[in-house]
Chain A
Amino acid sequence: MIFSIVVQAPPIQCQGAETALRFARALLDAGHSIHRVFFYRDGVHNGSALTCLPQDEVSIPEQWQALAREHKLDLVVCIAAAVRRGLINEHEAGRYKKAHWNLAEQFELSGLGQLVEACIQSDRVVTFGGRS
C-alpha cells in the first residue's frame, strides 16, 4: 500500500514525531511505500539543521534525514508554517533578507498543495499530532 504521513508534532516536548518515525520504519519494514512525509504546524521544527541535543539523546531531525537518505523519502515542510517559525532555506533567506538559513538537508519547503497531492496519491494518510 501507498502511505503518506503528516507530522504536526515538534521533535521535542511531545512524543508525536518519535511515534511517526517509528511508524514510518514499521511501514517500510512491512514492505509498504511512503509517498510523502508532510510536516505541518509545529511539526516543521523536525526540519531544523540547528537542533542540538545532549550526547545521550536521540536527534529526531537527524533520524528523519537518515531514513530519507536510506529510502529516498520525500520530506516536505509546509512553507507558510515554516517561515513564520524561523525555519527557512537559502532561497527564503534571500527573499526575506536574512543572513542565515537552517532547513536541514533532505527536507524541502513547499505548499499545502503537496499535502493535497499526497492525499490523492496515497491509500492511507496517517497524522501524528502534538498539542496546540
Chain B
Amino acid sequence: MILHTLNQAPANTACFQSALSAMDEQDSLLLIEDGVYWALPAYSDQLASIPGRVFALEADIRSRGVGNSTLECIDDSGFVQLCVSHHKVVSWF
C-alpha cells in the first residue's frame, strides 16, 4: 500500500508512465503541482488506466483551474492523512 505523488505535467509522459508501472491496485496516486494537469479532459483515458485510487491536491487544482468531478480533491491535511494510511510514500518528479 504505497502513496505515489506525481508533480509533472503531461508534457513529461515518461514520469507518469514510470509511476504507473510501479503501481498496483492497493496503491494510490496523488497529483500535485503541475501533475494536476493530468486532470484535464484530454487525459481522462490515461487517468482511468491507473489501477488504484487517484487524488489531487485541491490548492493546485484551483490555482490552475483544472477542475474534474471524477477526481478526489484533498487539502494539505488530507495529504497528511494519506501518508498515514499508506505504508510509504514514493515521489515521482
Which A residues form the contact surface with B (CB < 8 A)? 1, 3, 8-9, 14-16, 19, 22-23, 25-27, 29-30, 32, 124-131
Contacting pair B89 A32 (CB below 8 A): no
A-B contact count (CB 8 A): 55
Could you tell me the distance in whole angstroms from the C-beta of A4 to the nearest C-beta in chain B? 11
**Residues on B facing A (Cβ under 8 Å):** 5, 7-8, 32-34, 57, 59-60, 75-77, 79-81, 83-84, 88-89, 91, 93
Tell me if B93 and A131 are in contact (CB < 8 A).
yes
Nearest-neighbor residue (CB-CB) of A14 within chain B: B33
**Chain B residue, CB-CB nearest to A28:** B80
When the two chains form their complex, are residues A22 and B33 in contact, meaning their CB atoms are under 8 A apart? no
Contacts A16-B7, A124-B88 given; indicate if A27 touches B93 (C-beta within 8 A).
Answer: no
A26 touches B93 (CB 8 A): no
Q: Give Cα distance in the complex from A15 to B33, angstroms.
A: 7
Q: Which residue of B lies closest to A127 (CB)?
A: B91
What residues on A are CB-neighbors of B60 within 8 Å?
15
Question: Does B33 lie within 8 Å of A124, measured CB to CB?
Answer: no
| A25-B76, A129-B91 known; A1+B7 contact, CB < 8 A | no
Cα A26 to Cα B79 in complex, Å, equals 8
Given contacts A124-B83, A124-B88, A127-B91, contact A23 B76 (CB under 8 A): yes
Q: Is B77 in contact with A29, judged by CB distance below 8 angstroms?
A: yes
